[in-house]
């Protein structure tokens, strides 16, 4: 009888060990940090949102699901560990409402640090619309970012370079044709304060087609001056701004640096538009009029710049 009972216990333990781990329920949680609060003993007692957490024999979270209103699966995470218990991989899936996966995010780790992050966006028919992949160095700085579109064709990539102090020094953003060939690229240069000072737009043969140069106030650090090669009009433009981002002056020159036009903007004490003065190529004032539409500092030009 004792032998039979012992055999029965062993069988029960084996079945329990093969059940795939312990499942727990919580009312609060974070799928990225694997932190969960307000434990609930019975799922049937839950009235609102909750987390379903599954752990392995070592107590490590292997899957975690987030449900809304007790039934709708919103997000699901799965975790993989090394033999020493360090996180190796984390995949997070976000779902359409009552539907298939909408976004998939995956982080790869090595010795506790992120080495790669990948995000995918899907349609309801399970087709991948876009994929983003970011690679990180030992200092947790992104050094390569790639974007893929329909048909798994590369659309753009960005290379990041850092100085000795791990400050962003320059970046190159490449744009590709559907054939996979390079269409054009932007080279962006930063100063020691990680402010953009140069943006250059090139063709694949390294021909410069546009550039933007920026300088900053030495004390207040706002952008006070910019020089531009307008690729559409073939002219050089020089602009000055005040600390509020208001345009003070704009000078246009041709490719021989001969003056085309100069415009001066005037404001009242409340920084509202007042007058605009226009000078011709000889530097002579030809027009003064009421200035009603405020021209503000433009954003940086590199497409997709973070």
Mean pLDDT of 215-221: 94
pTM of the model: 0.81
Q: What is the CATH number of the domain that holds 203?
A: 3.90.930
| pLDDT bracket for residue 41 (50, 70, 90) | confident
Question: Residue 296 falls within a domain, yes or no?
Answer: yes
* Residue 247: burial class (beta carbons within 10 Å; 0-12, 13-18, 19+): buried
Do 168 and 61 share a structural domain? Answer: no
pLDDT in tens, 5-35: 344 333 333 333 334 578 999 999 999 999 9
**Residue 193, CA atoms < 13 Å, CB-side half-sphere:** 12
Q: Is residue 138 part of a domain?
A: no
> Which domain covers residue 45, as residue numbers?
22-81
Give CA–CA dist 73/114, Å, rounded: 27
Which tens digits make up the pLDDT trace of 87-144? Answer: 999 999 999 988 899 999 999 999 999 999 999 999 988 889 999 999 999 999 999 9
Structure confidence by residue, pLDDT tens digits, 249-259: 999 999 889 99
Number of domains making up the chain:
2
Evaluate the CA torsion angle 5, 9, 14, 18 in order and state its sign: positive
- Co-location of 206 and 301 in the same domain: yes
Phi and psi at residue 14, to the nearest 5°: -65, -45
- C-alpha to C-alpha distance for 10 and 22, rounded to whole angstroms: 18
Does residue 39 belong to any structural domain of this protein?
Answer: yes
């Amino acid at each position: 009888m004792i032998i039979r009972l012992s055999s029965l216990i062993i069988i029960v333990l084996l079945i329990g060990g093969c059940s795939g781990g312990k499942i727990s329920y919580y009312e609060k949680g974070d799928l990225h940090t694997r932190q969960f609060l307000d434990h609930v003993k019975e799922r049937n007692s839950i009235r609102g949102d909750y987390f379903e957490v599954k752990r392995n024999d070592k107590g490590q979270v292997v899957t975690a699901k987030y449900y809304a209103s007790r039934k709708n699966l919103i997000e699901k995470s799965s975790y993989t560990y090394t033999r020493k218990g360090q996180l190796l991989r984390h995949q997070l899936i976000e779902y359409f409402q009552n539907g298939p996966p909408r976004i998939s995010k995956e982080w790869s780790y090595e010795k506790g640090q992120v080495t790669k992050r990948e995000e995918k966006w899907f349609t309801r028919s399970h087709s991948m619309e876009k994929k983003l992949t970011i690679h990180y160095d030992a200092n947790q700085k992104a050094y390569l970012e790639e974007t893929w579109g329909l048909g798994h064709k590369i659309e753009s990539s960005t290379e990041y370079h850092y100085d000795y102090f791990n400050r962003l020094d320059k970046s190159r953003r490449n744009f590709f044709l559907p054939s996979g060939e390079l269409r054009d690229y932007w080279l962006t240069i930063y100063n020691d304060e990680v402010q953009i000072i140069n943006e250059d737009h090139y063709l694949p043969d390294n021909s410069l087609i546009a550039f933007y140069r920026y300088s900053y106030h030495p004390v207040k650090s706002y952008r006070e001056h910019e020089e531009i090669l307008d690729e559409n009009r073939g002219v050089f433009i020089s602009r000055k701004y005040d600390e509020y981002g208001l345009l003070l002056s704009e000078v246009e020159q041709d490719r021989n640096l001969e003056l085309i036009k100069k415009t001066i903007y005037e404001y009242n004490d409340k920084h509202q538009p007042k007058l605009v003065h226009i000078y011709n190529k000889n530097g002579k004032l030809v027009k003064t009029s009421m200035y009603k539409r405020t021209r503000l500092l433009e954003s940086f030009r590199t497409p997709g710049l973070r």
